[in-house]
Amino acid sequence: MPNLLYLNTENTNSLPNSILKSNVDRDKIKTGIAHIGLSNFHRAHQAYYMHELIEQHQELNFGICGIDLLESDRKIYNILKDQDGLYTLITKKANGTIDYKIISSIIEYFYGPENPLAAIERLARPDIKIISLTIAEDGYHLNETTGEFNLTHPQVKEDSLSKFNPKTVFGYLTQVFNLRKERGLPGCTILSCDNIQANGDTVKKSFFNYVEKTTPSLLPWLQENTSFPNSMVDRITTVTSAKDIELFKETYNIYDQWPVVSEPFSKWIIEDNFISGKPDWEKIDIQFVKDIEPFENAKLRILNAGHSILGILGTLNGYKYVHEVANDEDFIFFLENYIKTEVTPSLQNTEQQNLKAYKKEVIDRFKNPHINDSLSRICKESSSKIPIFVFPTLLKQLSNQESIAHATFVMAAWCKYYDGVDDYGKTFDITDNLSNQLIRTAALSQQNPQLFLENNSLFKDLVHHDLFKERFEYYLSKLRSLPIKECLVLMNTGKL
Protein backbone atom coordinates (compact mmCIF):
# COMPACT_ATOMS: atom_id res chain seq x y z
CA MET A 1 0.00 0.00 0.00
CA PRO A 2 1.40 3.44 -0.94
CA ASN A 3 2.08 5.99 1.77
CA LEU A 4 -1.05 7.63 3.16
CA LEU A 5 -1.67 11.11 1.74
CA TYR A 6 -2.77 13.83 4.12
CA LEU A 7 -5.25 16.15 2.47
CA ASN A 8 -3.60 19.50 1.69
CA THR A 9 -2.65 21.58 -1.33
CA GLU A 10 0.78 20.03 -1.74
CA ASN A 11 -0.62 16.51 -1.91
CA THR A 12 -3.47 17.24 -4.32
CA ASN A 13 -1.13 16.67 -7.27
CA SER A 14 -0.63 13.10 -6.05
CA LEU A 15 -4.29 12.23 -5.73
CA PRO A 16 -4.96 8.80 -7.22
CA ASN A 17 -8.24 9.57 -8.95
CA SER A 18 -8.84 12.42 -11.38
CA ILE A 19 -12.47 12.67 -10.15
CA LEU A 20 -11.18 14.15 -6.91
CA LYS A 21 -8.98 16.76 -8.53
CA SER A 22 -10.11 20.29 -9.22
CA ASN A 23 -9.23 21.68 -12.64
CA VAL A 24 -8.78 25.18 -11.19
CA ASP A 25 -5.54 26.79 -10.04
CA ARG A 26 -6.47 27.90 -6.51
CA ASP A 27 -3.81 30.62 -6.59
CA LYS A 28 -5.95 32.44 -9.15
CA ILE A 29 -9.07 32.50 -6.97
CA LYS A 30 -9.78 35.85 -5.33
CA THR A 31 -11.81 36.25 -2.15
CA GLY A 32 -15.24 37.83 -2.54
CA ILE A 33 -17.27 36.15 0.22
CA ALA A 34 -16.57 35.94 3.94
CA HIS A 35 -18.51 33.20 5.68
CA ILE A 36 -18.96 33.21 9.45
CA GLY A 37 -19.51 29.74 10.93
CA LEU A 38 -17.80 26.89 9.06
CA SER A 39 -20.39 24.30 10.08
CA ASN A 40 -20.90 20.95 8.40
CA PHE A 41 -23.96 22.43 6.74
CA HIS A 42 -22.03 25.37 5.27
CA ARG A 43 -19.41 23.02 3.89
CA ALA A 44 -22.08 20.77 2.34
CA HIS A 45 -24.13 23.63 0.97
CA GLN A 46 -22.78 27.15 0.34
CA ALA A 47 -19.10 26.18 0.00
CA TYR A 48 -20.13 23.28 -2.25
CA TYR A 49 -22.10 25.63 -4.53
CA MET A 50 -19.15 28.02 -4.81
CA HIS A 51 -16.85 25.10 -5.62
CA GLU A 52 -19.18 24.05 -8.43
CA LEU A 53 -19.30 27.59 -9.81
CA ILE A 54 -15.54 27.94 -9.67
CA GLU A 55 -14.88 24.55 -11.23
CA GLN A 56 -17.59 24.51 -13.89
CA HIS A 57 -17.66 28.18 -14.89
CA GLN A 58 -14.27 29.55 -13.83
CA GLU A 59 -15.81 32.05 -11.39
CA LEU A 60 -12.58 33.24 -9.75
CA ASN A 61 -13.76 36.39 -7.93
CA PHE A 62 -15.84 34.87 -5.15
CA GLY A 63 -13.64 32.49 -3.22
CA ILE A 64 -14.56 32.10 0.45
CA CYS A 65 -12.77 33.45 3.49
CA GLY A 66 -13.95 31.30 6.39
CA ILE A 67 -14.22 32.92 9.81
CA ASP A 68 -15.07 31.15 13.06
CA LEU A 69 -15.96 33.13 16.17
CA LEU A 70 -16.65 30.56 18.89
CA GLU A 71 -14.22 28.85 21.27
CA SER A 72 -15.85 25.57 20.25
CA ASP A 73 -14.81 26.20 16.63
CA ARG A 74 -11.10 25.79 17.32
CA LYS A 75 -11.03 22.17 16.13
CA ILE A 76 -12.51 22.85 12.68
CA TYR A 77 -10.30 25.94 12.32
CA ASN A 78 -7.14 23.95 13.11
CA ILE A 79 -8.13 21.18 10.69
CA LEU A 80 -8.90 23.54 7.83
CA LYS A 81 -5.65 25.37 8.51
CA ASP A 82 -3.75 22.06 8.33
CA GLN A 83 -5.58 21.10 5.13
CA ASP A 84 -5.28 24.51 3.41
CA GLY A 85 -9.07 24.88 3.49
CA LEU A 86 -9.61 21.60 1.61
CA TYR A 87 -12.08 18.96 2.76
CA THR A 88 -14.10 16.14 1.26
CA LEU A 89 -17.84 16.15 0.64
CA ILE A 90 -19.18 12.60 1.01
CA THR A 91 -22.55 12.19 -0.70
CA LYS A 92 -24.55 9.09 0.23
CA LYS A 93 -27.30 8.01 -2.15
CA ALA A 94 -30.29 5.88 -1.19
CA ASN A 95 -29.05 2.99 -3.37
CA GLY A 96 -25.84 2.76 -1.33
CA THR A 97 -23.59 4.56 -3.83
CA ILE A 98 -21.12 6.97 -2.24
CA ASP A 99 -19.60 9.91 -4.11
CA TYR A 100 -16.53 11.79 -2.93
CA LYS A 101 -15.53 15.31 -3.97
CA ILE A 102 -12.74 17.48 -2.59
CA ILE A 103 -14.08 21.00 -2.10
CA SER A 104 -11.61 23.83 -2.71
CA SER A 105 -13.64 27.04 -2.47
CA ILE A 106 -12.42 28.04 1.04
CA ILE A 107 -9.13 29.83 0.39
CA GLU A 108 -8.66 31.85 3.59
CA TYR A 109 -9.63 31.29 7.22
CA PHE A 110 -9.50 33.26 10.45
CA TYR A 111 -10.24 32.35 14.05
CA GLY A 112 -11.80 35.25 15.94
CA PRO A 113 -11.02 34.21 19.54
CA GLU A 114 -7.32 33.95 18.64
CA ASN A 115 -7.09 37.35 16.96
CA PRO A 116 -10.35 39.30 16.82
CA LEU A 117 -8.76 42.42 15.29
CA ALA A 118 -7.37 40.38 12.38
CA ALA A 119 -10.83 38.93 11.67
CA ILE A 120 -12.41 42.41 11.87
CA GLU A 121 -9.79 43.90 9.52
CA ARG A 122 -10.30 41.12 6.99
CA LEU A 123 -14.07 41.55 6.99
CA ALA A 124 -13.64 45.31 6.55
CA ARG A 125 -11.67 45.05 3.31
CA PRO A 126 -13.62 46.14 0.21
CA ASP A 127 -13.05 42.90 -1.72
CA ILE A 128 -15.60 41.25 0.59
CA LYS A 129 -18.91 41.76 -1.25
CA ILE A 130 -20.96 39.29 0.78
CA ILE A 131 -20.74 38.29 4.45
CA SER A 132 -22.73 35.08 4.83
CA LEU A 133 -23.67 33.38 8.08
CA THR A 134 -24.45 29.97 9.52
CA ILE A 135 -24.48 30.75 13.23
CA ALA A 136 -27.56 28.69 14.22
CA GLU A 137 -30.44 30.02 16.32
CA ASP A 138 -28.23 30.71 19.35
CA GLY A 139 -26.07 33.12 17.38
CA TYR A 140 -28.97 35.51 16.82
CA HIS A 141 -29.50 35.96 20.58
CA LEU A 142 -33.27 35.96 20.32
CA ASN A 143 -35.43 35.80 23.42
CA GLU A 144 -36.64 32.21 23.67
CA THR A 145 -40.15 33.31 24.56
CA THR A 146 -40.80 36.49 22.56
CA GLY A 147 -38.51 35.89 19.58
CA GLU A 148 -37.19 39.46 19.93
CA PHE A 149 -33.48 40.32 20.10
CA ASN A 150 -32.24 39.83 23.65
CA LEU A 151 -30.39 42.98 24.64
CA THR A 152 -29.80 41.56 28.13
CA HIS A 153 -27.99 38.44 26.92
CA PRO A 154 -24.66 38.14 28.84
CA GLN A 155 -22.57 38.09 25.63
CA VAL A 156 -24.36 41.14 24.27
CA LYS A 157 -23.71 43.01 27.52
CA GLU A 158 -20.08 41.86 27.51
CA ASP A 159 -19.62 43.22 23.98
CA SER A 160 -20.64 46.68 25.10
CA LEU A 161 -17.76 46.65 27.63
CA SER A 162 -15.12 45.24 25.26
CA LYS A 163 -15.91 46.42 21.73
CA PHE A 164 -12.64 45.25 20.16
CA ASN A 165 -12.81 41.77 21.64
CA PRO A 166 -16.42 40.90 20.75
CA LYS A 167 -18.19 37.66 21.61
CA THR A 168 -21.18 38.00 19.26
CA VAL A 169 -21.39 38.15 15.48
CA PHE A 170 -23.09 41.54 15.86
CA GLY A 171 -20.14 42.86 17.84
CA TYR A 172 -17.81 41.86 15.02
CA LEU A 173 -20.07 43.29 12.31
CA THR A 174 -20.42 46.59 14.15
CA GLN A 175 -16.66 47.09 14.23
CA VAL A 176 -16.35 45.93 10.60
CA PHE A 177 -18.84 48.46 9.29
CA ASN A 178 -17.48 51.20 11.55
CA LEU A 179 -14.13 50.73 9.81
CA ARG A 180 -15.75 50.72 6.38
CA LYS A 181 -17.61 53.90 7.17
CA GLU A 182 -14.54 55.69 8.57
CA ARG A 183 -12.42 54.67 5.57
CA GLY A 184 -15.00 55.70 2.99
CA LEU A 185 -15.46 52.11 1.82
CA PRO A 186 -18.71 50.58 0.57
CA GLY A 187 -20.96 48.32 2.60
CA CYS A 188 -21.94 44.81 1.53
CA THR A 189 -24.65 42.18 1.67
CA ILE A 190 -25.30 40.16 4.83
CA LEU A 191 -26.64 36.77 3.71
CA SER A 192 -28.05 34.49 6.40
CA CYS A 193 -27.97 30.82 5.49
CA ASP A 194 -29.50 29.63 8.74
CA ASN A 195 -32.61 27.51 8.98
CA ILE A 196 -34.80 30.14 10.60
CA GLN A 197 -37.88 31.88 9.28
CA ALA A 198 -37.25 35.13 7.38
CA ASN A 199 -33.55 34.72 8.14
CA GLY A 200 -32.49 37.91 6.37
CA ASP A 201 -35.15 40.00 8.10
CA THR A 202 -34.22 38.37 11.41
CA VAL A 203 -30.49 39.11 11.20
CA LYS A 204 -31.22 42.67 10.04
CA LYS A 205 -33.56 43.33 12.95
CA SER A 206 -31.19 41.82 15.51
CA PHE A 207 -28.16 43.62 14.11
CA PHE A 208 -29.87 46.99 13.94
CA ASN A 209 -31.22 46.57 17.49
CA TYR A 210 -27.69 45.81 18.65
CA VAL A 211 -26.24 48.85 16.83
CA GLU A 212 -29.02 51.11 18.09
CA LYS A 213 -28.00 50.20 21.64
CA THR A 214 -24.21 50.21 21.23
CA THR A 215 -23.30 52.50 18.32
CA PRO A 216 -26.37 54.49 17.26
CA SER A 217 -24.36 56.87 15.05
CA LEU A 218 -23.61 53.96 12.70
CA LEU A 219 -27.25 53.09 12.06
CA PRO A 220 -28.04 55.62 9.28
CA TRP A 221 -24.96 54.48 7.32
CA LEU A 222 -25.95 50.83 7.68
CA GLN A 223 -29.45 51.53 6.44
CA GLU A 224 -27.98 52.97 3.23
CA ASN A 225 -25.05 50.60 2.70
CA THR A 226 -26.18 47.08 3.61
CA SER A 227 -28.77 44.60 2.37
CA PHE A 228 -30.20 41.47 3.99
CA PRO A 229 -31.80 39.05 1.50
CA ASN A 230 -33.87 36.19 2.89
CA SER A 231 -32.85 32.73 1.73
CA MET A 232 -34.13 29.18 1.87
CA VAL A 233 -31.49 26.47 2.32
CA ASP A 234 -32.14 22.76 2.06
CA ARG A 235 -29.78 19.82 2.38
CA ILE A 236 -29.73 17.10 5.02
CA THR A 237 -26.24 17.04 6.51
CA THR A 238 -25.43 14.67 9.33
CA VAL A 239 -22.63 14.14 11.83
CA THR A 240 -19.38 12.76 10.38
CA SER A 241 -18.46 9.38 11.89
CA ALA A 242 -15.09 7.67 12.32
CA LYS A 243 -16.34 5.05 9.83
CA ASP A 244 -16.81 7.74 7.18
CA ILE A 245 -13.23 8.92 7.67
CA GLU A 246 -11.84 5.38 7.57
CA LEU A 247 -13.80 4.38 4.46
CA PHE A 248 -12.50 7.40 2.55
CA LYS A 249 -9.00 6.58 3.73
CA GLU A 250 -9.31 2.97 2.58
CA THR A 251 -10.90 3.90 -0.77
CA TYR A 252 -8.45 6.61 -1.88
CA ASN A 253 -5.54 6.35 0.56
CA ILE A 254 -6.26 9.94 1.67
CA TYR A 255 -6.64 11.12 5.24
CA ASP A 256 -9.17 13.91 5.65
CA GLN A 257 -9.51 14.80 9.32
CA TRP A 258 -13.08 16.10 9.02
CA PRO A 259 -15.01 15.33 5.83
CA VAL A 260 -18.70 16.23 5.55
CA VAL A 261 -21.50 13.70 5.00
CA SER A 262 -24.62 14.73 3.11
CA GLU A 263 -27.52 13.53 0.97
CA PRO A 264 -27.57 14.12 -2.82
CA PHE A 265 -30.46 16.61 -2.71
CA SER A 266 -29.57 20.27 -2.41
CA LYS A 267 -31.59 23.46 -2.88
CA TRP A 268 -30.88 27.15 -2.41
CA ILE A 269 -33.40 29.92 -3.12
CA ILE A 270 -32.50 33.55 -2.43
CA GLU A 271 -34.25 36.89 -2.65
CA ASP A 272 -32.49 39.01 -5.24
CA ASN A 273 -31.38 41.83 -2.93
CA PHE A 274 -27.59 42.22 -3.20
CA ILE A 275 -26.12 45.67 -2.70
CA SER A 276 -22.57 44.97 -3.92
CA GLY A 277 -22.96 42.32 -6.60
CA LYS A 278 -23.08 38.55 -6.39
CA PRO A 279 -21.69 35.45 -8.12
CA ASP A 280 -23.45 34.06 -11.21
CA TRP A 281 -25.17 31.46 -9.04
CA GLU A 282 -27.95 31.01 -11.62
CA LYS A 283 -25.44 28.98 -13.66
CA ILE A 284 -25.53 26.24 -11.02
CA ASP A 285 -29.30 26.21 -10.46
CA ILE A 286 -29.52 28.53 -7.48
CA GLN A 287 -32.88 30.24 -7.83
CA PHE A 288 -33.45 33.96 -7.28
CA VAL A 289 -36.93 35.20 -6.41
CA LYS A 290 -38.63 38.41 -5.31
CA ASP A 291 -40.49 36.75 -2.43
CA ILE A 292 -39.01 33.82 -0.51
CA GLU A 293 -42.03 33.22 1.75
CA PRO A 294 -43.93 30.56 -0.27
CA PHE A 295 -40.76 28.47 -0.72
CA GLU A 296 -39.73 28.95 2.89
CA ASN A 297 -43.14 27.97 4.24
CA ALA A 298 -43.22 24.78 2.18
CA LYS A 299 -39.78 23.76 3.38
CA LEU A 300 -40.34 24.63 7.06
CA ARG A 301 -43.79 23.04 7.29
CA ILE A 302 -43.02 19.89 5.30
CA LEU A 303 -39.34 18.97 5.61
CA ASN A 304 -38.43 20.61 8.92
CA ALA A 305 -41.75 19.80 10.58
CA GLY A 306 -41.56 16.27 9.16
CA HIS A 307 -38.10 15.81 10.61
CA SER A 308 -39.20 17.00 14.05
CA ILE A 309 -42.35 14.88 13.99
CA LEU A 310 -40.45 11.72 13.08
CA GLY A 311 -37.85 12.62 15.70
CA ILE A 312 -40.34 12.99 18.55
CA LEU A 313 -42.61 10.08 17.64
CA GLY A 314 -39.70 7.80 16.75
CA THR A 315 -37.86 8.54 19.98
CA LEU A 316 -40.94 7.53 21.98
CA ASN A 317 -40.90 4.22 20.11
CA GLY A 318 -37.21 3.60 20.84
CA TYR A 319 -35.89 4.36 17.35
CA LYS A 320 -32.48 6.01 17.01
CA TYR A 321 -32.30 7.14 13.36
CA VAL A 322 -34.55 9.01 10.94
CA HIS A 323 -34.53 6.29 8.30
CA GLU A 324 -35.76 3.72 10.84
CA VAL A 325 -38.86 5.77 11.56
CA ALA A 326 -39.39 6.77 7.93
CA ASN A 327 -39.36 3.12 6.85
CA ASP A 328 -41.99 2.17 9.44
CA GLU A 329 -45.32 2.30 7.60
CA ASP A 330 -47.34 3.40 10.63
CA PHE A 331 -45.15 6.44 11.26
CA ILE A 332 -44.77 7.53 7.65
CA PHE A 333 -48.49 7.06 6.95
CA PHE A 334 -49.23 9.39 9.85
CA LEU A 335 -46.76 11.98 8.52
CA GLU A 336 -48.14 11.75 4.97
CA ASN A 337 -51.68 12.30 6.27
CA TYR A 338 -50.53 15.27 8.33
CA ILE A 339 -48.95 16.86 5.26
CA LYS A 340 -51.94 16.07 3.05
CA THR A 341 -54.79 17.10 5.33
CA GLU A 342 -53.29 19.89 7.46
CA VAL A 343 -50.12 21.31 5.88
CA THR A 344 -51.12 21.46 2.21
CA PRO A 345 -54.24 23.61 2.82
CA SER A 346 -52.05 26.14 4.64
CA LEU A 347 -49.75 26.52 1.62
CA GLN A 348 -52.25 28.06 -0.77
CA ASN A 349 -49.72 30.46 -2.30
CA THR A 350 -47.38 27.64 -3.36
CA GLU A 351 -47.55 26.20 -6.87
CA GLN A 352 -49.41 22.92 -6.32
CA GLN A 353 -47.62 20.79 -8.91
CA ASN A 354 -44.21 21.63 -7.47
CA LEU A 355 -45.60 21.10 -3.97
CA LYS A 356 -46.79 17.59 -4.82
CA ALA A 357 -43.37 16.63 -6.16
CA TYR A 358 -41.63 18.20 -3.17
CA LYS A 359 -43.75 16.23 -0.67
CA LYS A 360 -42.83 12.93 -2.32
CA GLU A 361 -39.19 13.95 -2.55
CA VAL A 362 -39.02 14.78 1.15
CA ILE A 363 -40.41 11.39 2.20
CA ASP A 364 -37.92 9.61 -0.07
CA ARG A 365 -35.09 11.63 1.44
CA PHE A 366 -36.13 10.65 4.96
CA LYS A 367 -36.00 6.99 3.95
CA ASN A 368 -32.36 7.07 2.80
CA PRO A 369 -30.80 4.36 5.02
CA HIS A 370 -27.22 5.48 4.47
CA ILE A 371 -27.37 8.98 5.96
CA ASN A 372 -27.74 7.66 9.55
CA ASP A 373 -29.19 10.92 10.78
CA SER A 374 -29.79 10.54 14.50
CA LEU A 375 -33.10 11.39 16.15
CA SER A 376 -31.18 12.98 19.01
CA ARG A 377 -29.78 15.55 16.55
CA ILE A 378 -33.23 16.17 15.10
CA CYS A 379 -34.84 16.61 18.54
CA LYS A 380 -32.12 18.91 19.87
CA GLU A 381 -33.56 22.31 20.88
CA SER A 382 -37.05 21.26 19.83
CA SER A 383 -38.54 24.19 21.77
CA SER A 384 -37.05 26.52 19.16
CA LYS A 385 -38.18 24.28 16.28
CA ILE A 386 -41.74 23.15 16.98
CA PRO A 387 -43.13 26.71 17.29
CA ILE A 388 -41.63 27.57 13.89
CA PHE A 389 -42.31 24.31 12.07
CA VAL A 390 -45.70 23.15 13.42
CA PHE A 391 -47.52 26.05 15.11
CA PRO A 392 -48.21 28.00 11.88
CA THR A 393 -50.00 24.99 10.38
CA LEU A 394 -51.99 24.46 13.56
CA LEU A 395 -53.04 28.11 13.86
CA LYS A 396 -53.97 28.31 10.18
CA GLN A 397 -56.16 25.23 10.47
CA LEU A 398 -57.82 26.58 13.59
CA SER A 399 -58.57 29.91 11.94
CA ASN A 400 -60.12 28.10 8.96
CA GLN A 401 -62.02 25.68 11.24
CA GLU A 402 -60.30 22.74 9.54
CA SER A 403 -58.83 19.53 10.94
CA ILE A 404 -56.16 19.87 13.64
CA ALA A 405 -56.01 16.18 14.61
CA HIS A 406 -52.47 15.34 13.49
CA ALA A 407 -50.83 18.58 14.62
CA THR A 408 -52.51 18.36 18.04
CA PHE A 409 -51.46 14.72 18.38
CA VAL A 410 -47.88 15.86 17.72
CA MET A 411 -48.21 18.48 20.49
CA ALA A 412 -49.36 15.81 22.92
CA ALA A 413 -46.49 13.53 21.87
CA TRP A 414 -44.09 16.44 22.36
CA CYS A 415 -45.33 16.81 25.93
CA LYS A 416 -44.82 13.09 26.54
CA TYR A 417 -41.33 13.38 24.99
CA TYR A 418 -40.31 15.54 27.96
CA ASP A 419 -41.04 12.63 30.27
CA GLY A 420 -37.68 11.39 28.96
CA VAL A 421 -38.69 7.71 28.77
CA ASP A 422 -39.66 5.67 25.69
CA ASP A 423 -42.34 3.00 25.50
CA TYR A 424 -39.80 0.33 26.42
CA GLY A 425 -38.85 2.04 29.67
CA LYS A 426 -35.50 3.31 28.37
CA THR A 427 -34.48 6.87 29.17
CA PHE A 428 -33.14 9.26 26.55
CA ASP A 429 -31.26 12.53 26.82
CA ILE A 430 -33.06 15.82 26.23
CA THR A 431 -31.00 18.74 24.96
CA ASP A 432 -32.99 21.95 25.05
CA ASN A 433 -32.46 25.44 26.45
CA LEU A 434 -35.93 25.24 27.98
CA SER A 435 -35.60 21.64 29.17
CA ASN A 436 -35.94 22.45 32.87
CA GLN A 437 -39.20 24.30 32.34
CA LEU A 438 -40.65 21.81 29.86
CA ILE A 439 -39.67 18.72 31.87
CA ARG A 440 -41.30 20.28 34.93
CA THR A 441 -44.54 21.21 33.17
CA ALA A 442 -44.66 17.81 31.44
CA ALA A 443 -44.49 16.23 34.90
CA LEU A 444 -47.27 18.55 36.13
CA SER A 445 -49.38 17.53 33.15
CA GLN A 446 -49.66 14.04 34.64
CA GLN A 447 -52.21 15.53 37.03
CA ASN A 448 -53.49 18.39 34.88
CA PRO A 449 -52.64 18.21 31.14
CA GLN A 450 -53.41 21.90 30.63
CA LEU A 451 -50.46 22.93 32.80
CA PHE A 452 -48.05 21.98 30.01
CA LEU A 453 -49.74 24.58 27.82
CA GLU A 454 -50.67 27.29 30.30
CA ASN A 455 -47.28 27.44 32.00
CA ASN A 456 -45.43 27.89 28.72
CA SER A 457 -45.54 31.20 26.91
CA LEU A 458 -44.30 29.23 23.91
CA PHE A 459 -47.88 28.35 23.10
CA LYS A 460 -49.14 31.96 22.98
CA ASP A 461 -52.42 32.10 21.00
CA LEU A 462 -52.94 28.34 21.06
CA VAL A 463 -54.03 28.40 24.71
CA HIS A 464 -57.05 30.52 23.72
CA HIS A 465 -58.48 27.79 21.48
CA ASP A 466 -60.76 25.48 23.46
CA LEU A 467 -60.87 22.87 20.69
CA PHE A 468 -57.10 22.57 20.64
CA LYS A 469 -56.90 22.32 24.44
CA GLU A 470 -59.63 19.67 24.56
CA ARG A 471 -58.03 17.54 21.81
CA PHE A 472 -54.57 17.96 23.33
CA GLU A 473 -55.81 16.58 26.64
CA TYR A 474 -57.55 13.69 24.91
CA TYR A 475 -54.49 12.67 22.87
CA LEU A 476 -52.14 13.03 25.82
CA SER A 477 -54.30 10.69 27.91
CA LYS A 478 -54.16 8.10 25.12
CA LEU A 479 -50.41 8.46 24.69
CA ARG A 480 -49.87 7.96 28.40
CA SER A 481 -52.04 4.84 28.47
CA LEU A 482 -51.02 3.22 25.15
CA PRO A 483 -47.71 2.83 23.30
CA ILE A 484 -47.07 5.37 20.53
CA LYS A 485 -47.26 2.60 17.93
CA GLU A 486 -50.78 1.61 18.96
CA CYS A 487 -51.89 5.23 19.04
CA LEU A 488 -50.62 5.75 15.50
CA VAL A 489 -52.48 2.69 14.24
CA LEU A 490 -55.68 4.09 15.78
CA MET A 491 -54.98 7.54 14.29
CA ASN A 492 -54.27 6.08 10.86
CA THR A 493 -57.52 4.13 10.86
CA GLY A 494 -59.63 7.01 12.15
CA LYS A 495 -60.32 5.37 15.50
CA LEU A 496 -58.58 7.96 17.67
**Which residues share a beta bridge with 99?**
91
Mean pLDDT across the stretch 63-92?
96
Decide: 273 and 228 in contact? Cβ < 8 Å: yes
Interatomic CA distance for residues 297 and 396, integer angstroms? 12
CA angle 393, 395, 401 (to 5 degrees): 100
Q: What is the pLDDT of residues 293-332, one digit of tens each?
A: 999 999 999 999 999 999 999 999 999 999 999 999 999 9
What is the largest distance, in Å, between two alpha-carbon atoms of the chain? 70
- Band (20; pLDDT cuts 50, 70, 90): confident
pLDDT at 196: 85
pLDDT at 138: 76
The answer to which of 149-153, 183-187, 489-493 has the lowest mean pLDDT is 149-153
Q: What is the pLDDT of residues 357-402, one digit of tens each?
A: 899 999 999 999 999 999 999 999 999 899 989 999 999 999 999 9
* Residue 424 burial by Cβ neighbours in a 10 Å radius (0-12, 13-18, 19+): exposed
Q: What is the pLDDT of residues 252-271, one digit of tens each?
A: 889 999 999 999 999 999 99
Residues 6 or more apart whose CB falls under 8 angstroms from that of 365 comprise 236, 263, 265, 303
Q: What is the pLDDT of residues 416-463, one digit of tens each?
A: 999 999 999 999 999 998 899 999 999 999 999 999 998 667 888 898
Residue 120, pLDDT > 70, answer: yes
pLDDT at 433: 86
Count the Cβ atoms, other than its own, within 10 Å of residue 338.
25
Residue 221, pLDDT > 90, answer: yes
Residue 145, pLDDT > 70, answer: no
- Band (356; pLDDT cuts 50, 70, 90): confident
Mean pLDDT across the stretch 405-425?
97
Angle, helices 199-214/154-161, rounded to nearest 10 degrees: 40
The answer to which of 320-329, 343-352, 485-494 has the lowest mean pLDDT is 343-352
pLDDT at 61: 96
